Amino acid sequence: MKKITFIPLFIAVVLFLVFLFFPNKIIEKWISDDRVELAKTEMNPLVYQGAYMQSRMLKGDNMMPIFGSSELVRFDPFHPYNYTKAADTPYDTYLVGRGGTQSLTHFMNIAEQGKDLRGKKVVFIISPQWFVKEGLDEFHFSPNYSMLQSYDLAFNKTMDRSLRKRGMERLLQFDTVQRDHILRTMYEYELSDHKERKILGRAAKFVGSFTRQLQHKKDIYYSLFVGDFKGDLKAQPELVEDRTFAEQIKASEQYGSERVNNDYGISSHYYNKKIKPKLALLKDYKSEEEYTESPEYEDLQLVMDAFKDAGAKPLFVSIPLNGKWYDYAGFDKDRRDAYYEKMDMVLEKSGHAYVDYTNHEDDPYFLTDTLHIGWKGWVYLDQTMDDFYKHD
């Protein structure tokens, strides 16, 4: 008969307990300031899906983070992060988002960082393509979803109760949340004001509290490995430092012109790879699209309300579409203007600070492709951020 040994199991349990109860303060000392600096531009999901690294970044009095999506990885000499270094601005920044991150993802992050955002100025870039008729879908939500932040939302006692419930109701519309039975039960229990399924709800909260603690411990350990990848930020300080706004505009136009080989103002690399091989097929391919009716507007309202609840001071940035390209794609000027006007109305009504760049849709080199700000667009944003930081 085979002898059964409990030594491997015992070792596994001991290692797990060491992992679970090892002091966070010691782990935090292993995370260097250099690693934190690299994490500001790494666009690693472990940063914006977590809690610790952003909390540490926000400790600086002069930190002004930028929330957005795929435009944030369009690095060039005029990118806001490069600009803060080259121009030695009185503020610092880090980047929150990647392709597929939209308002709901950012809402969860804002709820997580609430206390650290109080009194902080924040830049929030709004992308028109978020506002498709169906809004945020599972394909884009799931890879950017944070289990840690979703569990923390269930236990959040500082956020306005009605705002928290609106967030949970929206999150329950996604399969990623529905498949997590503990989380779903906690949300439903909270939404009923603890009146329905009391025993099951309390049990879910009990189990959920341990899951939440484990997620935070994992977040601390994961932070040890954030900042390992040092990407090419394409910094050229000489194009920015000691130059006036007009000189930076001229430099960005020259920089952009050297990287465009088509009539649409799209970067040659993007055009040759994504558009040129199927140009004929893309004619009028957006003829049925419009951006004035979308669940994304309610998600954006969650973001606006979450910033207000946290006591943050956001600047919302409304980005244009590429006019020439969207004309070719069949998304006519009237429909684009309808979106621009609605977004302007939404931002005006919010009471938050905002800047409207939508009159730049035909401005050469303001965008780097069909819809992403860059080159000259970054120069405008850099100057806007300077002014925003200086004034209350």
The predicted structure's pLDDT at residue 228:
74
Q: Using 50, 70 and 90 to split pLDDT, how confident is the model at 331? A: very high
Mean pLDDT (whole number) for 308-332: 98
Mind listing the pLDDT tens digit for each residue in 81-120? 999 999 999 999 999 999 999 999 999 999 999 999 999 9
The predicted structure's pLDDT at residue 7:
73
Question: Pick from 198, 160, 235, 224: which is nearest to 27 by CA?
Answer: 224
The predicted structure's pLDDT at residue 12:
66
The predicted structure's pLDDT at residue 214:
94
Mind listing the pLDDT tens digit for each residue in 360-392? 999 999 999 999 999 999 999 999 999 999 987
Contact 58, 117 (CB under 8 A): yes
Give residue 250's identity as a one-letter amino acid code: K
* C-alpha dihedral (299, 302, 304, 310), degrees to nearest 10: -150
Four-residue CA torsion sign, 32, 35, 36, 37: positive
Cα–Cα dist 124/311, whole Å? 15
Q: Using 50, 70 and 90 to split pLDDT, how confident is the model at 15? A: low
Mind listing the pLDDT tens digit for each residue in 214-260? 999 999 999 998 887 677 899 999 999 999 999 999 999 999 999 99
Tell me: pLDDT of 26 over 70: yes
Q: CA angle, corner 374, sides to 369 and 380, nearest 5?
A: 135
pTM (two decimals): 0.94
Q: Using 50, 70 and 90 to split pLDDT, how confident is the model at 5? A: low
Tell me the average pLDDT of the chain.
94
Q: Residue 170's Cα: distance from chain center in Å?
A: 18
Q: How many CB atoms lie within 10 A of CB 261?
A: 12
Taken as a whole, the chain contains a residue count of 392
Give residue 31's identity as a one-letter amino acid code: I
